[in-house]
Amino acid sequence: MSDNKKSPLVKILRVGLAGLGNVGAGTFKILEQNAKLIEQRTGTRIVVTAVCARNKTKDRGIDLSKVTWVETPESLIDLPDVDVIVEVMGGEGDPALSLVRGTLQKGKAVVTANKALLAYHGMELAELSAQNNAPLFYEAAVAGGIPIIKMLREGLAANRISGLYGIMNGTCNYILTTMEKTGRDFADVLNDAQNLGYAEADPTLDVGGGDSGHKLVLLSALSYGCQPDFQNLSVEGIDRLSADDIVIAGEFGARIKLIGQAVKLDDGRILQMVSPCLVPKTSPLAHVDDALNGILMHGDFVGPSFVEGRGAGEGPTASAIVADLMDLACLRTCGAIRPVFGAEPHDLKAAPSASRDDWTGEFYMRLVVHDRPGVIAEISPVLRDHKISIESLIQRGRSEDQPVNIVITTHETTGASLRQASEKIELLPNVLAAPLVLPILKI
């Protein structure tokens, strides 16, 4: 406080930090190490005054001796020397939900990195933010070091977004990149990713597509002025992909990426879907490798806009949190808060939803079959009956004893037609597993 007396024009923003994992500790480090830079750019000294975490004695490489330690996250809300709560505990429910809900009800600001919380409870929290004039910032919830929330809420706010396509999970992108480079299969690469710390011990949320889905519904809400609605999302992960799929996609001039897409259809419905897709090598998304994230958007006046960067980890995520704190510091000086999802809650409507069945385009289908005469003759009538036209057909291998792959690419059709045909093809006597069906993007 003594330094503040020497500079009476400098304000102080006091932070209560809930969570001291990598991101929480990283946030503390940035605020300490870049304090002068932050103060120069905001006219505000941003300091952590209180923290809450599970283990008080753990060495995190930061000096907490001058910071108040509380035993429960909700204890941070009523501390008189806390102006804003930074929530980096994670999880869609309590204690994160109670903390954020209670903070907004008190009229205090919240900065969070918690995409699951917002995906499930975003509308309630947006309403609390508006009712109590309490800012809610969440740049760190999507794509870490890429300022995609700010781009959509501010930089592209004058545009109608027709389509958004994103690689938003670094774990999946690392696995797919490694599969392509090494020719190894999914399970083998996943095991290595876990040993290296790129994947969690339980990787379901990442490889199953749920993490990308949480992020996608937030971007959809900002892009289309609709309520975030995770329940109406179509989600498919990467766990059924094989090294053969990667190779064959390359022969088609494409790479396989886990893409979250939000597209406004001609009838006004919003299609929100997470799925592995064949992405043409000419697309900027095809060149997003390893653990990086990338997002491609189409605005009616700006045209296509593409951003790429690190989407997770201590540094990028903490950097996004501090950027939100800096915005809050400026906001306290000069203006009204922006609505959480770009429009006032009463203007956010439930999006008329579309599903994977409504996706229209070309598809990649891989079948695992017994290599016997007549297999193609069994499959072709099913496709014909569902008005699915074949663009190409490739058989990999020749063996009477081992299963072989048949890969079909289609002309334009619908997801519903492919789903219905796949369900019937799976029942054919020589087909050994449910067909793998991937959209082929034209972006």
What is each CA distance from 153 to 118, 140, 158, 219, 252, in whole angstroms?
Answer: 16, 14, 9, 10, 37
Q: Both tokens of residue 378?
A: 């069994």
Determine if residue 93 is left, alpha or beta; phi over 0 gives left, psi from -120 to 50 gives alpha, anything else beta: beta
Beta strands (DSSP E) in 214-302 are 234-235, 254-264, 270-280, 292-299
Distance separating the N- and C-terminal Cα atoms of the chain = 54
Distance (Å, rounded) from C-alpha 103 to C-alpha 107?
7
The answer to whether 436 touches 365, Cβ cutoff 8 Å, is yes
Backbone angles phi, psi at 362, to 5 degrees: -90, 155
Catalytic annotation on 215? yes
Paired residues of 354 in beta bridges: 271
Distance (Å, rounded) from C-alpha 125 to C-alpha 176?
35
What is the SS3 assignment for 230?
helix
**Contacts of residue 267, Cβ cutoff 8 Å, sequence gap at least 6:** none
DSSP state of 92: S
Task: Count Cα atoms within 13 angstroms, Cβ side, for 176.
Answer: 34
C-alpha dihedral sign at 416, 420, 425, 426: positive
The answer to whether 188 touches 182, Cβ cutoff 8 Å, is no
Among the listed residues 115, 215, 257, 264, the single catalytic one is: 215
Nearest to 232 by CA among 110, 357, 136: 357
What is the SS3 assignment for 120?
helix
Q: Is the peptide bond before 135 cis (omega within 30 degrees of 0)?
A: no
Nearest to 212 by CA among 184, 182, 249, 176: 176
Residues labelled as active-site residues: 215
